[in-house]
Amino acid sequence: MYERHNKRWTIKLMCKILGVSTSGYYKYKKKIGRPGKVDILSAAMKSILNESPFNDNYGAPRMQLALLQRGLKAGIRRITRIMREHGWLHKPRRKPKGLTHTTTEIQEKENLLKQDFSASQPLKKLLTDISQIPCSDGKLYISPILDCFNGEILSLIMRDNMKKELCIDTLHAVTRRYKLNGTILHSDRGSQYTSDAFHQALSKAGVTQSLSGVDHCYDNARMESFFATLKKELLYRIPTYRMKREDVKSILFKSIKILINLKYL
């Protein structure tokens, strides 16, 4: 009893000399040997990066989403600082180039979105475009449709050509699964999207078309951002030019599913 009292008195005296409270001392003592929040976040980030060889290109926003899925909340600044300290941040190496071309003979349509890619409901604002991938047996053209509400890829068609049927079938893949009401589909002014056949498909589906301005890449920036992320985190890191189109298709379907789950946006 005397020894316990003497020990408490010694601790109080020590805290007084050091200018700290006794409660603060006991809290500090309890934390000794326990991992701090930074240590927990660092371990979780390392686990996320190790889940796939393609995850090491994650930036702070995507890492924040991945941590939230594990029930861990952290600010962008803290995540950025931890990733920078561990050398987990990378600069983009390449920028994607546009593919579809404008058709000047088609009368200009109004840009209904006006670079506002937010949506309060699903299936109200949709984006689409075409991108190409070099493969050993020729080019692979991919045509997705993205929902502005949550960044979900509603359909993805991949072919060895970029004819208008590629875009029409991409739209049909959506209309077979969902009922579109008051939907706007935005794209660039490529000849596929300004063709009579595509207009008829939109009219039949009850979808209103929105088109980007000529040479205005930012009018479809969110769709371009999706392609940029896909290429940076996957396509630029695998030798697609040595792979068959069918093999690249299989990898794309799996990888895009992961992007959707993480809500790439």
| Interatomic CA distance for residues 92 and 113, integer angstroms | 28
| Interatomic CA distance for residues 80 and 37, integer angstroms | 15
E strands, the chain, where? 125-128, 131-135, 138-147, 153-159, 183-187, 207-211
183-187 and 131-135 beta bridge pairing: unpaired
Q: Answer whether 41's CB lies under 8 Å from 79's CB.
A: yes
| Interatomic CA distance for residues 40 and 44, integer angstroms | 6
| Contacting residues for 225 by C-beta, under 8 A, at least 6 apart | 264, 265
| Interatomic CA distance for residues 244 and 134, integer angstroms | 10
- Within 13 A of 13's CA, how many CA atoms are on the CB side? 6
Nearest Cα residue to 195 out of 173, 211, 213, 177: 211
pLDDT of residue 110: 72
pLDDT of residue 107: 44
pLDDT tens by residue, the chain, 265 residues: 545 556 676 777 777 776 677 776 667 666 665 557 788 888 888 888 888 777 777 888 888 888 888 888 889 999 999 998 888 887 655 555 555 554 544 445 578 998 899 999 999 999 999 999 999 999 999 999 999 998 899 999 999 999 999 999 999 999 999 999 999 999 998 899 999 999 999 999 999 999 988 777 788 999 998 898 888 888 888 889 999 999 999 988 887 766 554 443 3
| Contacting residues for 22 by C-beta, under 8 A, at least 6 apart | 11, 12, 15
The Cα angle at residue 72 between residues 75 and 261, in degrees rounded to 5: 95
Nearest Cα residue to 265 out of 62, 129, 101: 62
